[in-house]
A and B are shown apart, each in its own frame.
Chain A
Amino acid sequence: QQQVKQSPQSLIVQKGGISIINCAYENTAFDYFPWYQQFPGKGPALLIAIRPDVSEKKEGRFTISFNKSAKQFSLHIMDSQPGDSATYFCAAKRNSGAGSYQLTFGKGTKLSVIP
């Protein structure tokens, strides 16, 4: 119930191509879905996020698509660049009492964008 399943584990994309990472969840208590980007030796950083009442959110080259009925969401990176090479984590948030919340993370996708 707490799991967030992420695929693929690794992805190689040509420069200028589209990178697509998919996530699926089961717990309907999740109410917010962020994506984090992590470069080697660094902590994860919030990239973009979406609420389940919205089907798509776009910020620059990054787009989240959300399918509430299928309990799936995906990250699309348009015009992928070598600087986008990083590990990407999807996450799902649920409230946990006392005004706090918890994030459950997918296992990550290592993206390599080759020139």
Chain B
Amino acid sequence: DAGITQSPRHKVTETGTPVTLRCHQTENHRYMYWYRQDPGHGLRLIHYSYGVKDTDKGEVSDGYSVSRSKTEDFLLTLESATSSQTSVYFCAISESGGRETQYFGPGTRLLVL
């Protein structure tokens, strides 16, 4: 998985609680992404980062925030989890300089009850 770890790998939480997912990379890649994967929807981009402290919204950003204080870490926060945020969350990284391959982490399975 190209030097990408995600934690936790599984989480069960209750509606209304805050949740933070962590993506850690050892590749020193500039770009990092958070996706969610749901049956029938494929992969949808939540937020992405193009450098430390530089982030932008993706297709399905409502209810999510991100932070990147170090090159290697990209955090995804669900401010107040809802059942509709039950999903598998994938982090991805890519190099700078026009390289277009995104490498994906192993995923975090989140269940919001």
Interface size of A by CB at 8 A reads: 27
Q: Is A34 an interface residue (CB 8 A)?
A: yes
In the complex, are the beta carbons of A105 and B58 less than 8 A apart?
no
A residues 1-49 near B (Cβ < 8 Å) are: 2, 6, 32, 34, 36, 41-46, 49
User: Residue-by-residue, is A71-114 near B (CB-CB < 8 Å gives 1, otherwise 0)?
Assistant: 00000000000000000010001001111111111111000000
Name the B residues within 8 Å of A34 (CB-CB).
Answer: 100-101
Smallest beta-carbon distance B9→chain A, Å: 10
| Cα A34 to Cα B101 with chains together (Å) | 8
Q: Which of A46, A97, A98, A105 has the most chain B CB atoms inside 10 A of its CB?
A: A105
Chain B residue numbers with a CB within 8 Å of A101 are 94, 100
Q: How many residues of B contact A (CB 8 A)?
A: 28
Instruction: Evaluate contact between A98 and B50: CB separation under 8 angstroms.
Output: yes
A93 in contact with B100 (CB, 8 Å): yes
Contacts of A32 in B (CB 8 A): 100
> Among residues 32 to 71 in chain A, which have CB atoms less than 8 Å away from a CB atom of chain B?
32, 34, 36, 41-46, 49
Quick check: is B43 within 8 A (CB to CB) of the other chain? yes
Are the C-beta atoms of B106 and A42 separated by less than 8 Å?
yes
Query: B46 to chain A: closest CB distance in Å?
Result: 11
Contact assessment for B45 and A99 in the assembled complex, using a CB-CB cutoff below 8 Å: no
Most buried by A among B44, B45, B94: B45
Kindly report which residue of chain B lies nearest to residue A102, judged by CB atoms.
B45
**Residues in chain B near residue A89, CB distance under 8 A:** 42-43
6 A–B contacts, CB within 8 A, in A order: A6-B42, A41-B106, A44-B43, A45-B104, A99-B50, A100-B50
State the B residues within 8 Å of A (CB): 1, 4, 31, 40-45, 48, 50-51, 54, 56, 58-59, 90, 92, 94, 96, 100-107
User: Hey, which bits of chain A sit against chain B, CB under 8 A?
Assistant: 2, 6, 32, 34, 36, 41-46, 49, 89, 93, 96-108
